[in-house]
Amino acid sequence: MCGIVGYVGYRKVVPVLLHGLQRLEYRGYDSAGIAVLDSEKKKIVVEKQVGKIKDLQEHLWGKDINGNIGIAHTRWATHGPPSIENAHPHTSQKDEFAVVHNGIIENYAQLKEELIKKGYVFKSQTDTEVVAHLLEEYYQDNLLNTVLKVAKMIEGAYAIGIISTLEPDKIVALRKGSPLIVGLGENENFIASDIPAVLEYTKKFITLDDEEIAVITKDKVEIYNIKGEKVEKKPFTVNWDIAAAEKGGYKHFMLKEIYEQPKTITDTISGFFSDLNNPVYKEMKNIESIVIIACGTSYHAGLVGKFWIEKYAKIPVIVDYASEFRYRDFPVNEKTLVIAISQSGETADTRFAAIDAKKKGAKVLSIVNVVGSSLSRESDFVIYTYCGPEIGVAATKTFTAQLVTLFLFAVKSGFERGYISQEDFEKIHHDVNSLPSLVNEVLKEDKNIENISYKYHNAKDFLFLGRGINYPIAFEGALKLKEISYIHAEGYPAGEMKHGPIALIDETLPVVCIIPKDSLYEKMISNIQEVKARKGIVIAVTDSEDKEVVSLSDNIIKIPSVKNENLYPILSVIPLQLLAYHIATILGKDVDQPRNLAKTVTVE
């Protein structure tokens, strides 16, 4: 949620900030703003605009703003609605400090009341403005010491960037619970919420850990902990370039990322087999139960993973929403493995739930896409997916990579626990290696799916059905459609249809049925017959050419057959991604930046 970028160096700062905000717009787009420090005039120039980054760019057109140091922000509203007043950056009463902030200051109301009593006047409804005023109230000739003092006063999760006319050569950044990286350049340095914001300028980065503070000038970067002690941090180098975060000729990032799935699945398989000595597998012999925690799309990946782990590793698995798991007294111990799934590795609910589980004695394995992310560092073990940046808010390629990772983890764990032979392990490896070419076959259905989307884009509701290992894919299909088209959709295990959703079925309701030729095929045929008996519209996602499924379906989306039926979810979800994409684009929706959503949810 929200995006931060900052720069200090030799370049004119405004273009750097605007380019950075464009790269971060997937994190928030209610409003945006910049603060530039004019060192000659010893003045902070602030410009803000409601709407997207292009609205801020148009607002700045023709304005001559000089300076080589500044901070910028794109907002996803939490405290206070989108408005010029609530947009960041926020300044102190004397305009000596400017602040950008991602996260929530939980005790802001109390701090605000105390500051008002001291004569401070608030211009916004945000929690962020208290930070600017606190800096002014407690500043005594040293910005670092002031930030250290203020950091101990504020509670919550945050990433904050600060500039000040009182020390006009630096940016001070602090982080607790929300992501913040430092980019290292030649005679220039950067801060940002995410790497793509500044990747065209540098590939060398430092990740700030919780309760760390960075003091950044154009020539150096110094890191301190909350006690004011200097901390040595080892930089890391990013091995992908800005082209990976560009649309590459596709109309939208989401479509590009759907089409990248053969490559990201290939890379994830390769990455997994290069890490077979991961210490988590030795631990699996001692594990008696597994809890998978995640949010949104990652939660659906966890539901599929439950089937695989129980089948291959013979360990009982519970899948829970991280936001719920954290607040119930679930018994875990040293024989419990908690698998925390998060694309960004910064999802607040998942991170905090994993930390709580560790405190209770559980081991934590994280499955993440971002190297060096908070969750990866806080876990006992980590397995990476290899997707590069995913810019579209609605997860696509990271979901299938999570599925591949969970499948391979289940199989490898089963091998280590003695339930899978070496021969079977190698056979399954061969089956998995066929996935990228099979996904390419699915993508050939794109035009057919677009034609189907034109038929039903005006539907007010959709129902998605699947059985067994494919019912979580029904959930995911419904979520994708809701996220980007704003059409109401529900996903259900097909066997549960008779227990409620069947009441919704009539001649106006499209029902998307996931029906691969697996062990539950005949059961799904029965469910489709129940839909047709009530005049429902059937869209079948299937590899079957049986006359029965053809005669019962109003529309068919073909997927290829697989030897191992446990791999069907990785194929059956891709048509649902494309269906959601095409319906949304036909309706004229912004598929990359759907309303009210942000890519990384770093607040509760």
Residues serving a catalytic function are: 2, 599
Residue 4 CB contacts under 8 Å (≥ 6 apart), including other chains: 24, 71, 72, 73, 100, 101, 102, 159, 161, 180, 191, 192, 193
Rg of the chain (C-alpha set): 25
Encoded tokens for 326:
């954290």
Strands 336-342 and 363-368: parallel
Strands 204-207 and 189-192: unpaired
Exposure of 360 by Cβ count < 10 A (0-12 exposed, 13-18 middle, 19+ buried)?
Answer: middle
Exposure of 401 by Cβ count < 10 A (0-12 exposed, 13-18 middle, 19+ buried)?
Answer: buried
For residue 50, the SS3 value is strand
The number of helices, as runs of H, and strands, as runs of E, in the chain is: 20, 25
Phi-psi region for residue 282, left (φ > 0), alpha (ψ -120 to 50) or beta? alpha
Assign 3-class secondary structure to 84-109. CCCCCCEECCCCCEEEEEEEEECCHH
Encoded tokens for 127:
């929690």
**Residue type at 581 in one-letter notation:** Y
Torsion, CA 543, CA 545, CA 548, CA 552, rounded to 10: 60
Alpha-carbon span 475 to 490, nearest angstrom? 7
Alpha-carbon span 337 to 332, nearest angstrom? 8
Count of C-beta atoms within a 10 Å radius of residue 181: 26
313, 441, 442, 481 from 562: Cα distances, Å = 22, 12, 12, 26
DSSP 284: G
Strand order in the sheet with 156-164: 90-91, 97-105, 156-164, 171-176, 212-216, 221-225, 230-231
DSSP 399: H
Q: Output the furthest CA–CA distance in the chain (Å, rounded).
A: 81
φ, ψ of residue 519 to 5 degrees: the values are: -70, -15
φ, ψ of residue 410 to 5 degrees: the values are: -65, -45
On whether the CB atoms of residues 269 and 432 are closer than 8 A, the answer is: yes
Alpha-carbon span 268 to 100, nearest angstrom? 35
Residue 455 CB contacts under 8 Å (≥ 6 apart), including other chains: 555
On whether the CB atoms of residues 369 and 401 are closer than 8 A, the answer is: yes
Alpha-carbon span 548 to 329, nearest angstrom? 49
**How far does CA 486 lie from the centroid of its chain?**
19
